[in-house]
């Protein structure tokens, strides 16, 4: 299992693990965290991922008996990372993505959005992050595809995992958590806006997005949720930066920063049980939002909106949120696409936003476009 990070342009490669801590059964998640603690105490690094469905295991009423065909937890145990330049991809003539299609029809999508709005109207939730999937066939070199996508649309928290039986290509613009000593920082992302077609149009789009009431309301709602989650285990909680706009090739996105202090040696289970999954990928309030997500979404999210990262023996850690992330296995691929649904969301607007988020893949010359 090779895990390659380029978080904040600082390449870090984990290769040849001593062993892998993996979990497919919801009722073995607690045991896996015990093994994580044992590995850290023994002086090892851990690198890999937590799938979104791991989040259901932290709440007794959400935990189910279903055993997944994809790992809930998959962490290599390593002696140390290698600080290297970007590995060169193996030469390959082409990367072909074919038969691109969504896992849901527009009509079913519309009915789900209306049901979410009904839940909001009835006071069950304030916001739901609802996700669909882009499915496709893939032939080529996964790392070459990762490198190509990253070159076309640079992001601050990319990662690549080759687990042999599957590969994960994470072109993530969102940080989940960074812990350095006792200091913890999380950066929830909520809010999307298309780039302008001209220089002046782009400047205007940036200004409109920065002051758009709907996006600001969504963003601050999730920032408040993260402040509450972090406040359960930490102190000195604050939000030093709100409504920051980041620019990408096809769109703008809005983030806020929430920080605090926790015990330097806080158990990893306690940290994840309080914060995972991030409120930016569930909605608010989190538990009810996760119940509705499981009711409406017709497939497991798997790696999408989980977390990819590493933990040091000193219990520092750095994890992204794998949005804009491709999962490849057995010649097929999938990529989750999601958005925050609030009362004034429209079916047409949310559908268009999802297609916009997928453009970095669907616009590739080798993809042939999406089948709608």
Rounded Cα distance, 209 and 215, in Å: 7
Does residue 179 sit in helix, strand or coil?
strand
The answer to the question of residue 313 being in a domain is yes
Six token digits for residue 219: 């963003």
**Contact status, residue 187 vs residue 257, Cβ threshold 8 Å:** yes
Domain that holds residue 20: 2-88+98-371
Q: Which residues have a catalytic role annotated?
A: 174, 190
Residue 13 is part of a domain; what is its CATH number? 3.60.120.10
The answer to the question of residue 172 being in a domain is yes
Q: How many domains does the chain have?
A: 1
Query: What's the pLDDT at 365?
Result: 73
Query: What's the pLDDT at 371?
Result: 64
Rounded Cα distance, 72 and 50, in Å: 6
**Contact status, residue 226 vs residue 232, Cβ threshold 8 Å:** no
Angle (deg, nearest 10), helices 347-357 and 106-121 = 120
Does residue 262 sit in helix, strand or coil?
coil
Exposure letters 131-143 (e unless 16+ CB within 10 A, then b): bbbbbbebebbbb
Query: What's the pLDDT at 197?
Result: 86
Parts of the chain with a pLDDT under 50: none
The upper half-sphere exposure of residue 112, i.e. CA atoms within 13 Å in the direction of its Cβ, equals: 24
pLDDT single digits (tens) 253-269? 999 999 999 999 999 99
Query: What's the pLDDT at 78?
Result: 98
The answer to the question of residue 355 being in a domain is yes
Torsion, CA 17, CA 18, CA 24, CA 26, rounded to 10? -110
The answer to the question of residue 220 being in a domain is yes
Six token digits for residue 79: 């002696």
Q: Which residues, 6+ apart, have CB-to-CB distance to 130 below 8 Å?
A: 112, 113, 116, 293, 296, 297, 338, 339, 341, 350
The answer to the question of residue 93 being in a domain is no
């Amino acid at each position: 299992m090779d895990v390659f990070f380029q978080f904040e342009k600082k390449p870090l490669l984990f290769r040849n693990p001593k062993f892998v801590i993996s979990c497919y059964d919801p009722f073995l998640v607690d045991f896996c965290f015990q093994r994580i603690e044992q590995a850290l105490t023994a002086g090892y690094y851990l690198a890999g991922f937590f799938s979104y469905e791991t989040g259901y295991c932290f709440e007794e009423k959400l935990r189910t008996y279903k055993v997944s065909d994809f790992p809930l937890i998959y962490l290599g145990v390593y002696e140390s990372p290698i600080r290297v330049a970007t590995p060169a991809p193996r030469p390959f003539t082409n990367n072909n993505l074919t038969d691109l299609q969504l896992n849901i029809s527009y009509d079913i999508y519309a009915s789900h959005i209306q049901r979410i709005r009904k839940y909001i109207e009835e006071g069950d939730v304030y916001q739901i992050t609802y996700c669909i999937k882009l499915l496709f066939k893939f032939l080529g070199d996964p790392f070459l595809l990762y490198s190509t996508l990253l070159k076309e649309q640079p992001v601050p928290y990319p990662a690549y995992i080759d687990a042999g039986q599957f590969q994960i290509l994470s072109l993530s613009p969102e940080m989940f958590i960074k812990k350095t000593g006792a200091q913890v920082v999380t950066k929830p992302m909520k809010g999307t806006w298309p780039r302008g077609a001209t220089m002046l149009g782009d400047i205007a789009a940036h200004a409109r997005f920065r002051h758009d009431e709907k996006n600001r309301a969504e963003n601050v709602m999730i920032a408040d949720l993260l402040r509450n989650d972090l406040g359960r285990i930490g102190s000195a909680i604050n939000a030093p930066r709100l409504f920051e706009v980041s620019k990408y090739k096809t769109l703008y996105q809005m983030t806020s920063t929430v920080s605090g202090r926790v015990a330097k040696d806080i158990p990893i289970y306690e940290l994840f049980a309080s914060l995972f999954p991030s409120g930016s990928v569930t909605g608010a309030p989190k538990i009810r939002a996760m119940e509705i997500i499981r009711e409406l979404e017709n497939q497991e999210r798997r790696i999408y909106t989980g977390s990819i990262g590493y933990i040091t023996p000193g219990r520092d850690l750095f994890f992204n949120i794998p949005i804009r992330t491709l999962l490849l296995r057995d010649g097929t691929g999938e990529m989750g696409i999601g958005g925050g649904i609030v009362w004034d969301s429209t079916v047409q607007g949310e559908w268009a936003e999802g297609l916009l988020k997928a453009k970095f893949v669907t616009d590739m010359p080798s993809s042939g476009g999406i089948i709608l």
